[in-house]
A and B are shown apart, each in its own frame.
Chain A
Amino acid sequence: MTKDLLWRGMLAGILAALLATLFARSFAEPLVDRAIAFEESSHEAHAMGAHAEVNEPEIVSRDTQKGEGLLTAMLLYGAAVGGIFSLVFAYGYGRFALIGPRTLALLLAALAFVAVILVPAIKYPPNPPAVGRHETVAVRTAAYFAMIAISLIAMMAASRLRAMMIPRLGAFNALLAGAAAFLLVVSIVPLGLPSIDEVPAAFPADLLWDFRVTAFGTQLVLWAALGIGFGAMAERVLQTRH
């Protein structure tokens, strides 16, 4: 059973990633191009004829980055999160609540979007090229992963709290208690993580906003398609094994 769910999770993730890539290619890539143009013009202004940095050889062309590169990254990401998602589903099915597979899949996708994408991105939002200093990439990566871990642990703890509270509060109020506990933890604990403020002063605010909105949009397409697609696949697996 788990094996069938795992493969379908990865497949659903790959299909979701294809849709997300289509979205990203249409709406986000023009913004990435603008950010790179900004990056290059500010490099030129800094270099002032010292062409060492300006003429840095291009290892991968922009066309490849926007095409096969973007697609590969998205497919790997989709297969990975789809696989993990299916494992959480396998554990949660019949345990989280006695609800149908499609409902559970959509619910889990929504919760995963909040815990893995939304909450970490509020602390450390996605940035276009030209934003972020090269020297701090290790710190920023560690802080971002720590943020995802905090948010995920808070979500698991909140889910446990909800389950414990159901006999006393009833299902609806127990859900509210879990949500409140999650929000409390992710509001307070991340205050201990470093704040990062590296947007160049001259970087266009509109471009930054638009990039972040489309980055959210890309993730939303991915998780919605994963939740809906995997739900339908899981339903079929469960029906045939009935």
Chain B
Amino acid sequence: MATQAAIFDDRFIPVGGATSIPVEEILPWAVFGLLLATIFLYFVSTEQGATSLFAGRYVHEFVHDGRHLLGFPCH
């Protein structure tokens, strides 16, 4: 039978008796998570490039290689 198993054979696991996580439970964490992610992504992608919160070029130069490799416009 092993040779006839589906490619993806991990089973669906119910969430506390239901089939999905309620949106009301996700929402506050989504707000928090997106806020945090936006701050992180801003410093990697844009600070001291297209816009600047801090003067100078230090942040830009420090994350320089990552910015190029992750595909963000750099200079």
User: Do residues A72 and B26 form an inter-chain contact, with CB atoms below 8 A?
Assistant: no
Determine the main DSSP class of A at the interface with B.
Answer: helix
Stretch from A44-52, A85-93, A149-157, A178-186 at the B interface: A85-93
- In Å, the complex CA distance between A128 and B16 comes to 49
- In Å, the complex CA distance between A156 and B15 comes to 24
Q: Which of A9, A65, A100, A144 contacts B11 (CB 8 A)?
A: A100
User: Do residues B8 and A103 form an inter-chain contact, with CB atoms below 8 A?
Assistant: yes
Q: Which of A70, A81, A137, A142 contacts B37 (CB 8 A)?
A: A81
Chain B 31-71, CB within 8 Å of chain A: the 1/0 string? 01110111011011110011100001110011111111111
User: Do residues B44 and A73 form an inter-chain contact, with CB atoms below 8 A?
Assistant: yes
Would you list which residues of chain A between 68 and 103 have a CB under 8 Å from chain B? 68-70, 72-74, 76-77, 79-81, 83-84, 86-87, 90-91, 93-95, 98-103
Q: Which of B40, B46, B56, B65 contacts A77 (CB 8 A)?
A: B40
Query: With A28-B69, A144-B73, A218-B69 given, is the CB distance from A60 to B12 under 8 Å?
Result: no
Residues on the B chain within 8 Å of A121, using CB: 71
- In Å, the complex CA distance between A76 and B8 comes to 31
Q: Which of A2, A87, A102, A137 contacts B73 (CB 8 A)?
A: A137
- CB-defined A-B contacts under 8 Å, sample of 16: A32-B65, A32-B68, A68-B62, A77-B66, A83-B33, A83-B34, A84-B33, A84-B34, A90-B21, A91-B23, A100-B11, A106-B8, A132-B74, A138-B51, A144-B72, A218-B70
Known: A70-B66, A84-B33. 18 other contacts (CB 8 A): A1-B21, A29-B65, A73-B65, A74-B66, A76-B43, A77-B66, A80-B44, A83-B33, A90-B29, A94-B18, A98-B12, A101-B10, A129-B68, A137-B75, A141-B45, A141-B49, A215-B69, A219-B71
A residues bordering B, Cβ < 8 Å?
1-3, 6, 9, 24, 28-29, 32, 59-60, 64-66, 68-70, 72-74, 76-77, 79-81, 83-84, 86-87, 90-91, 93-95, 98-103, 106, 117, 120-121, 124-129, 132, 134, 137-138, 140-142, 144, 214-215, 218-219, 235, 238-239, 241-242
